[in-house]
Structure 1
Amino acid sequence: MKFVTPNSFKGSRAWEALDIAEIEGATVRLHWTDQPYKWHQNDGDEAFVVLDGEVKMFYRAEGQEYHKVMKEGDIFHALNGDEHVAHPIGEARVLVIEKKGSV
């Protein structure tokens, strides 16, 4: 068994992760960051949950770029191949569930 208090986790670098679990080929990881990630496409679905802070999620659909400000408790579900990038607004802690080894 494991208990995790997300607000107490702080990485020494942006997007540092605390591995929570691996479930049937998917990883569950708590990330801390204060810097944007990079544009990417996952090779499987991804669930991205803001646990602490705010994140501006940019995404591309049908040749257009959009964004949404995510607050604590908001969930973003990216399908296989969806282009997206997360930009935290200050510090943020997010839970990411995705295929093991995904970008």
Structure 2
Amino acid sequence: MPMVVRSRDFTARAWEALPIALIDGVGIRLHWTDAPYVWHVNDGQEVFAVLDGRVRMHWRADGAERTALLEAGDVFHAPEGTEHVAHPQGAARILVIERAGSV
């Protein structure tokens, strides 16, 4: 069944997700949050697209912590094994694409 999702209208508890689709074992979910997540490593790659708001993304690579401020329209790709955490700067809506069942 076709679906239209108006991301700007979606709100929930922090990091609660609205499932959009499951395509060949890859989950696509819309998240709303206004609170940091926790440091974690996904079970595979992750694509993180900020649809609304701003998110400071932290990740560890080559023994150093790095950060980038993501604005609406920006995309972060975490290769498999990348430890990372997202810190929204106020309310944010994020489209997350990752292996189904990943943390």
**Shorter-chain TM-score: which interval?**
over 0.9
Unaligned runs of 5+ in 1: none
1:43 deviates by 1.2
1:86 corresponds to 2:68? no
Large movers: runs of 4+ above 3 Å = none
Work out the percentage of aligned pairs sharing the same amino acid.
58
Q: 1:42-57 counterparts in 2 under 5 A?
A: 42-57=42-57
Tell me the residue number matched to 1:2. Answer: 3
Q: 1:1-103 counterparts in 2 under 5 A?
A: 1-11=2-12, 13-103=13-103
Q: TM-score normalized by structure 1?
A: 0.98
CA RMSD of aligned residues (A): 0.4
Q: Deviations over 1:1-50 (max 9, x none)?
A: 00000000000x11010000000001000000000000001111100000
Unaligned runs of 5+ in 2: none
The structure richer in strand per residue is: 1
What CA distance in whole angstroms lies between the structure 1 residues aligned with 2:20 and 2:89?
A: 24
Q: TM-score normalized by structure 2?
A: 0.98
What CA distance in whole angstroms lies between the structure 2 residues aligned with 1:101 and 1:38?
A: 17
- Count of matched residue positions in the alignment of Structure 1 and Structure 2: 102
